[in-house]
Amino acid sequence: MISPLWPALLPPDQQGLDELCAVSAEGVRVRFADGRELLCGTSGLWNTNLGYGNPAVTAAAAQALARASYLNVFRYENDYARRAAAALIDLCGPGHYARVVFSTSGGAANDLVMKLARHYHALRGADRRKLVVGLKGGYHGMTFGGFALSGEDFGQRLYGVDQRLIRHVTPNAADELSRLMERQGAQVAAVVVEPVLGNGAVPLTGEYVAELLRLRREHGFLLVADEVATGFGRTGSFFASQDWPEPPDLLIASKGLTNGTGAAAVVVASGEVASAFAAAGAVLAHAETQAGTPVTCAAILATIAEARRLDAVALGRRLSDLLDEELARLAAEHPMVAGTSGAGCFRAIRLRAPGGAELPQAEVPAVVAAVRRAGAIVHPGVNGVQLVPALTYTAADLRELLACLRAGLAAYSAREVPA
């Protein structure tokens, strides 16, 4: 019998299993329909940075639902959206950023960014600037625009995704980007990068960021930081791009924006970009029914306040230091571990198969399942797994996560699954 629920990216033979059906979550634990409670090592989908069920965020969302129900930003404004936009500008940097456009997901926000960049250049008389450049292996969602920009094969040709105005270059390969700009720089509207690539947890190097900034000055494209995954303290600052020598023109935030409680995303625009629209009296052709609603904006305001109250960025840095120690020990001791990468509380572990070769990608789900049965949730990665713990993890939580990972790897190696 086919289950009524059609879940995302889950193979048909795993759909309908109680061990994969979550029923509740609190703190850093998730309970499933089979009765088990597991330690979450993924912060949901990298978004519950402050842990599940934060009382302040919950209360703010409930109050907004009771007081305002639904208000929109579609040919209107609402007070919640005004206050959330102001708080985000203050958080991102009021000396550089000026305006916030609300969206509902990272993918939709990437669609919005491409429209915004092309419209901006058209306002400046550069109608030829239509190309958008992304990174190979980058992930920007699965709406048609974000799907086109994602630099990995997810079946774009099968679904008829138009990628004619998209170019992809290798991350951290400055020469390759420079050659593209020499050929087509006058046609490039924007370069969109994740400060740490979600697929593989690959940080952009300082040298590469410096070259991006130099090329922006030379060729005039907009630089976009897709911080859907890296925002809200995930990599050691509120936003990873705040550590760049110069800020991006556009910044995308989503996952941690509401601590995972709402379908929300934002594009934060620099003063220069915003001024071009204001000076021309131009209306940006983008709108989403659920963007900027009271409940999501109340959650954004509460999440920012809670992150400051908890000093979540400092918590994340301390947890990152512990991760450095634990992962170094794991790499030194465990024969399956080929290496680690990432930054802050956003890490990837590349694995070897028991025979010593690189773990085949087809085997990754079996490793994830073995770790889950050992007591923890980890995320599949490139030839391995990813650890994305909440910033509120304790040292004991982290030790438990690594113990579950070791037990899962041992079970996978022995082709046994712990009870």
* Token pair for 171: 């991350």
CA distance 134 to 140: 9
Rounded to whole angstroms, what are the CA distances from 51 to 259, 305, 369, 391?
Answer: 8, 15, 22, 8
367, 409 Cβ separation under 8 angstroms: yes
- Exposed, middle or buried by CB within 10 Å (0-12, 13-18, 19+), for 187? middle
What is the pLDDT, as a whole number, of residue 68?
Answer: 97
34, 19 Cβ separation under 8 angstroms: yes
Q: Give, for 26, the enclosing helix (H) or strand (E).
A: strand 22-26
Rounded to whole angstroms, what are the CA distances from 311 to 297, 316, 324, 338?
Answer: 21, 9, 20, 34
Segments of 116-221 assigned E as strands: 131-135, 166-169, 188-193, 196-197, 202-203
The total number of residues shown for the chain amounts to 419
What is the pLDDT, as a whole number, of residue 354?
Answer: 79
pLDDT tens, the chain, 419 aa long? 788 999 999 999 999 999 999 999 999 999 999 999 999 999 999 999 999 999 999 999 999 999 999 999 999 999 999 999 999 999 999 999 999 999 999 999 999 999 999 999 999 999 999 999 999 999 999 999 999 999 989 999 999 999 999 999 999 999 999 999 999 999 999 999 999 998 889 999 999 999 999 999 999 999 999 999 999 999 999 999 999 999 999 999 999 999 999 999 999 999 999 999 999 999 999 999 999 999 999 999 999 999 999 999 999 999 999 999 999 999 999 999 999 999 999 999 999 997 889 999 999 999 999 999 999 999 999 999 999 999 999 999 999 999 999 999 999 998 744 44
Rounded to whole angstroms, what are the CA distances from 303 to 56, 155, 262, 300?
Answer: 8, 35, 11, 5
**Residue-range domains of the chain with CATH:** 12-54+311-413 (3.90.1150.10), 55-310 (3.40.640.10)
What is the pLDDT, as a whole number, of residue 418?
Answer: 44
Which residues, listed in sequence order, are joined to residue 253 by a DSSP beta bridge?
266
What is the pLDDT, as a whole number, of residue 417?
Answer: 43
Q: What is the CA radius of gyration of the chain?
A: 21
297, 214 Cβ separation under 8 angstroms: no
